[in-house]
Structure 1
Amino acid sequence: MDETDQDAVTRLRATAHPVRLRILSLLTAEAMSAAEVARALGITHANASYHLRQLHDVGELVVESEEKIRGGVAKRYRYDATRDVADRTSPLDDRIAYARATALEVERRLLEAGRGSGSSSDLEAWVPVEAWRRALDLLHEASHLLHAEARPAGTPDTVHVSATTTAFTMTGGLEGEAARWVPGRDSAPEAGR
């Protein structure tokens, strides 16, 4: 495994934890200190600090600013949502750990689901490669739109949402280069062409 692959594995392992997934979601909309994260998630300051350090050490968080507080320095972290966490070069066990952590986080969110619009889908099917590539582009676009438009919790005229996607090729059909796709970079043919 080369250095790039090892970096992806390290990032994946660091994010495969339900509290860290919540922190990443929280810090998508605004930069926060450990104390603010602790209050927002109902965890101890020490626990928040630990998880923030773990995420920062693997490059998932950036320090947006620092401020002096009572003789110390409080860092305000923000999540860099432009990185794809679930890298397909990571070992299967690590991707499964990430999927389990994500499933626990989705379950927590479902317990807090409000009334309103939504969508849920589960599918295992065989589709033309063009349809697969177009679907990946749409999923990628939707994910980046939601991350880019995220606002601080409680912002007026916003809706509190949950969006989780997992899409991957399976064995038995086209694989490797024949099915490889980089959403947003490769151009999917228009439907119906």
Structure 2
Amino acid sequence: MDQTDPAAVARLRATAHPVRLRILSLLTAEAMSAAEVARALDLTHANASYHLRQLHDVGELVIESEEKVRGGVAKRYRYDATREVPDRSSGIDDRISYARATAVEVERRLHDAARGAASSSDLEAWVPVETWHRALDLLHQASHLLHAAARPAGTPGTVHVSATTTAFTMTGGLDGEDVRWTPTEEAPR
């Protein structure tokens, strides 16, 4: 029986798009309206609105505020990567689509990479379960640290960075509850 959560699949499909990944990154630092997102990412207002609605409809964005603009209402959206979200498990095809979208976005960012401190790693290995859990804890903490510290573009005293991680268990080793992971401590603020 397929135990894939339809809501998790919808969330993954909604984020498996390079423009939407850019929007999530942009809205980590500050809430923005569709017009502001369009200007920041050089999109049409209609295109920005469409992508924002797609992300909001699957719960990836929250509406932080609404303001009256020229007889209408402009919503200001925000992405909170530290909030509790339901399980993101989904089928392999959806996870591959997300990985491809992420790869396109990382390639775009690499064209804008500056000289200086960086880290890159790739590994497929067999490690003790305790080591795996510790590594996932550290990745989780680093991700939450960076998301919590994100500031609007160009803020004095900030550096423009890119951070992408993907870590998962492979088949052939322990599975089930033996390798499940829940963060062991609160992410740093």
TM over 0.5: yes
Counterpart check, 1:73 vs 2:73: yes
Alignment coverage as a number of residue pairs: 185
Alpha-carbon separation, structure 1, partners of 2:165 and 2:84: 12
Alignment of 1:1-193 (within 5 A): 1=2, 5-82=5-82, 89-184=89-184
Residue 83 (structure 1) shift: 5.2
Q: CA deviation at 1:175?
A: 1.4
Shift of the 185–8 alpha-carbon distance from structure 1 to 2, 3 Å rule, reads farther
Deviant stretches of 4+, over 3 Å: 83-88
Q: Unpaired segments of 5 or more residues in structure 2?
A: none
Q: Which amino acid aligns with 2:56?
A: H
Quote the RMSD (CA, aligned, Å).
1.9
Residues of 2 paired with 1:161 and 1:116: CA distance?
A: 11
> Identity of aligned pairs, percent?
82
What CA distance in whole angstroms lies between the structure 1 residues aligned with 2:102 and 2:83?
A: 16
Displacement after TM superposition at 1:185 (Å)? 5.9
Per-residue CA deviation, residues 5-35 of structure 1 (Å, 9 max, x unaligned), is: 1111111111100000000000000000000
For residues 47-85 of structure 1, the C-alpha deviation after alignment (integer angstroms, 9 at most, x for no partner) is: 000000000111111111111111111110001212588
1:65 alignment partner, SS class: strand
Q: Can you list the C-alpha shifts for 1:162-183, whole angstroms capped at 9, x where unaligned?
A: 0000000101111121111122
Counterpart CA distance in 2 for 1:19 and 1:51 is 8
- Structure 1 distance, partners of 2:107, 2:138, is 24
Q: TM-score when scaled to structure 1?
A: 0.91
TM-score normalized by structure 2? 0.92
Which 5+ residue runs of structure 1 have no aligned equivalent? 187-193
